[in-house]
Chain A
């Protein structure tokens, strides 16, 4: 009996052993499913795709992208440039107007805020991995690898600049992190971050394989050496500006003041910025870039801002073609022939920044009554850039047959029909609609926008501003402005302006030239003139009278909140709460 038990047990054990040994590999994963870092850098074809991925967040953050910022309104609407449809409370710009901005949403993942803090670090990691490993690729020539390294350096500079202008000093990560112990990196002083950006720009500039322009139009949208020059000038302009270039922080931060300003005023920073702008302009113009001026004064500006290089835009230093058949609804107004969401609409404040082509300005302080049936009377002589940027009552919206003119007015009483795009018919709020980005796409419904991040025009504006600050109102500054103005049919700048007058003039000119390009919000902050965001924000009431004249009456729409601690962004609340020592900016 016992023998039987043991023998059968033995048989069984052998059977199990056989079973399990023959199946030892049964649980192994098939080898071909593993595609890791080594596999990526084993072929250039793969490494190149990693490079393309580097741009993922960049392109989507540009002005015309459906960029999910501010709850699908745009960053422009939290400046005096524009306003969003205030009845639509999904537009988080409304929260900014009301003063309810905090670290739980303004820079956190999601669609509500102005920035997504995490995304900067994702791109930085990608750029570091690519830069440190590209030499491993066996099947690519050295110059191709060199170019990618230059691109990575420029991308790193760009990401640090984007954080620098928003947060001040941030941690500096120099190698892709892998070990948990390495994650604890404190915020670097503002000065170190500044120097880090400049050194990255210099690295890209010194790279012999980094081209000035993309060699093939198919690569439009990739970073170039011209961009590295431009970013260096832009970074220096921000560094020289009053927000950072001061011995007194905008809000006292005690021992941490060095995280939010340089803690000394250095006038030479302006001279550095002027020099960098000069170099950028020289380099660009020697390498095939140039201010767009061959399309005539009423079109040059449109080509410079909205067209692709193939269509004659020689000015864009970095920009992205955002793809065909996009929805333009977030740029168009509500109502007939628009059908949009009125997410971004120009303010009267912005309209008043434009001069007439003879250098005079329109007086909006009294009601303007037009001649009969001449609704565009107040706007007729304005800067051509106005007509390309703002849609207004009576303007020809659809220029091709059948044409369509906007009727943004209400009738004075029931006997006068309301305009079809006016507040009553279209159930909308403001008298202006955005036109920039939509020129040529008014009637199509589909939209194929190009979005510039940096244009040569900005270099001239930097040169003018930095030169004026460093050396006073000299010819170099005036001449730089004239380049921008004359190509749009505007008169040259009066040489009689003093330094302060010119400073104001340049601020105004930047606001016009760089309209809706995501500059205004940061310009106001770096210049420490945040009170302009308080408003009042004006609109104009357009009424058609019984005698077919129109009255334009400027009225205050609202005041907005502004707080000193808003000069820098908050780090995301949950990031600070991870407890690794990230110091929150003051006031948040």
Chain B
């Protein structure tokens, strides 16, 4: 604040922007004093208010990853095995989304992104614009979007406020995605008190493209025109800087939405127009979505990537409100806009495409020599900054970390602190678990999503992974998608919790017959300035990075959402792991439901024995405690390799992983397909724990249930033995419509599948009536 370098810029044409940059103003822009010192050093003078706004958004956590950039370097971003399918074509962080090779010249672009805070304030628009943002990231890469999923987290459905958020978020996603005509394959939804007041809304999009169609977000070629395409800019989405716009315009800000408003119809037009434009050979030089930090981010990022300067004139920017000043135009987060750089002399080709789609295409500037980002408004230079300073010189922090005390307590937890379940309590315990909204059927959610548009839906939501046929590319391959993250495990042991999220996600893909290709992750955490929260973040990233390296499954992009806190406290660490996998032909596509009487159900991986952190502890005792189940990545790999080998032999009729709720829940879920079947299961022992609760409801990792024809049972068990894998037959399906369990020869449980299905399928509809 001491530097008194006189401004080299003329006064802003809007008098209200010519204010003194005080330390309060700097603080209100979220910049620390030392960060502001750095701004002064970079500029060699004081910034004006527009420039301060630009620095504040570009150096925000959202754009600059100041608190996580170092940690994110732990993730492997390429495959070690260079001969396998799934090589990384565009690495994490290099462009709007990563791209992986799926063979035969095709690639898949995919990424997940959060819209947590907007959704907490305005669930419908927050979730809708979350979908819009991630879809733009994908088609900016030149890819045709082919699927959506979401990872959602809410508080308890007992709360009417949570119901309102849940309904609003689902309906916002449904509204936006359905209109775009991109199939939404569901995703995962968890309910836990820790998300009360701070729901998580993470949206994923995947798209398909030819290798040669990959677009870059770089402004290159001095003299090339810079176009603004899409609807006009308004004052929406100025929430982060709303204080300033209030003071600056001396108008009431009450009628300005803090959350952006989405228009899926505009996005659909933009999507089709951009893909049509990008299909014209040699026309587009660079393209970038105007997402967070809108025009600011897109201009300085494209210039920075292109090692160029860029100059834009705000008078040429289409506007849908009057009297907007340079600060507002540069910081607006109006939706469905793009910045496009085309080769000089070919402007008409771009303009014709956008005329066809009735969209604005305004030439707002051009690529310049040097490295400056220059912004003009009303004939005056209102910002003049080195573009790279905004993207590459953002501060990076390494925060102090400290293990929270509850983690040590979890390590000391003993299972004999709870008494074992008696036989006559099994039915009730199972019913409670099936009716827990996290475990219960999510049909209420995904029947509101158009999952069948584009004719590719092959395995509908509700199975272990969603599967789409790549019909639109004209190829007979299938893409599988799964998301996972059990926050309970991450809370109790962040390192292992993140590894479990990874392992379960990959296992879900394997259960659908897919080989995992790559990860996109969404790191949802609390305030990183608190040592306990930073510890959680650090350990989760380490755990996830180690699992990625072990399996040689790289991270090709993702998102970080910090400061997820609310009145009652912080959210549990929630590193959502999403993976895409490839299935080479239709015969390998596998579902999680048994289909006929006479199938034998086998358990791979051995009887479960660990109760710590389980949903059983939650539904029976209201406890989030215990030791997180053992994570053995080698054992996990053995199970998945075996499963995929058996699927490729066409030996597996159905496969389902054992996860939240444990073995009995997983067995029951296999019965909830279209067929009305029964299942009798006999355990000859209680397993390593000697306890019913741990056998039935423990969430030991690396377990998969498969159903096979009776004649293949013996050969599969033998094959398992030969590969050193514990496997056993548990029972077989029949026409009885009953689920029966016996242990050591004694019947412990016998009920109708219909009653279990009722608990499972009606739980969420009952809350939402």
B is bound to A: no
| Interface of B toward A, CB cutoff 8 Å | none
